[in-house]
Amino acid sequence: MSDATNNSNNAQADYWTNEGGPSWVRHERRYERMLQPFDDALIGALRPVSGDRILEIGCGFGATSIALAASGAAVHGVDIAPPMIGRARERVQGTAEQITFAVADAQEVDLGGPYDTAVSRFGVMFFADPVRAFTNIAASVRSGGNLAFVCWQSLDRNPWLGLPIEVLRSFTGAPAGPAALAPGAPNPLAFADPAHTEDILRRSGWTGIEFEPVEPLLSIGGDDGINGAVELALNGSSVKALLEGDNGTLRAQVADALTERFAEFVTGDTVLMQSSAWLVTARRG
């Protein structure tokens, strides 16, 4: 991975290598079902065809790369987390030669190319220096090529994320959100403000920037109902931040409270909750 861990993304590399990545791989099936509607949004916006060359940023365990490659496009996925890339490679081994994966920090390293499109499903909000990162991504995309990614809107528009934090605060009395969601910092909500995101992209050489809301009901916990939803909620980075230092007692109390709250959102055997994201598209100038 060249010197990807010797730069300003060191904290993210450490987190996703040692905690976030392994955790996501453990819950792969749940996350994949939950986030699948956003693959549909990306594919609908890009309409990839055979022969397209696509770079996926923050590819995780490869679900979006596999979906994009179904068109016949050649897809190269990069992620800062070795556990994620290891799992992604396992998924395509011997079945999809047009898909490749690499451990790489998209902010810092040469990403190859030129690609026709750079794409990301919730993988671009964690850069320590987003202007530098999107400038580097632009350098790998041909002139006139495309950028498309999905990123979360604000916390109040994503009750699936806000409810666990609300429940935890009811026990701790914490008056403000966790540092993991601080405005402008690398976190899931870093690009909630379109004006902030557009400024970053323009400064990075992207033009024709557009924002489209994507607001599907999410299957929280996949096929595992309330138990799966509770486990995913407790697995979130913001909840983990609020539980830091807990000896297990608070976690158990929160789990019981979440079980009760998630019951309000059950349809059939599935916990369905509203979400709000931006589908952001742009062109390389």
Dist. CA 200–CA 206, nearest whole Å:
9
Q: Is the separation of the CB atoms in 71 and 99 below 8 Å?
A: no
CB 76 within 8 Å of CB 100: yes
Q: Which residue has the higher pLDDT, 13 or 29?
A: 29
How much is the pLDDT for 212?
Answer: 98
Model pLDDT for residues 239-248, shown as the tens digit of each residue: 887 788 888 8
CB 113 within 8 A of CB 55: yes
- What CA–CA distance (Å, rounded) separates 33 from 252? 26
Q: Identify which has the larger pLDDT, 138 or 21.
A: 138
Closest CA to 35 of 79, 66, 73: 66
How far is it, in rounded angstroms, from Cα 253 to Cα 225? 19
The residue assigned the tokens 């040469």 is: 110
For the chain, domains (ranges, CATH) are: 10-154+185-219+275-284 (3.40.50.150)
pLDDT tens per residue, range 186-219: 889 999 999 999 999 999 999 999 999 999 999 9
Please say if the pLDDT value at position 73 is more than 70.
Answer: yes
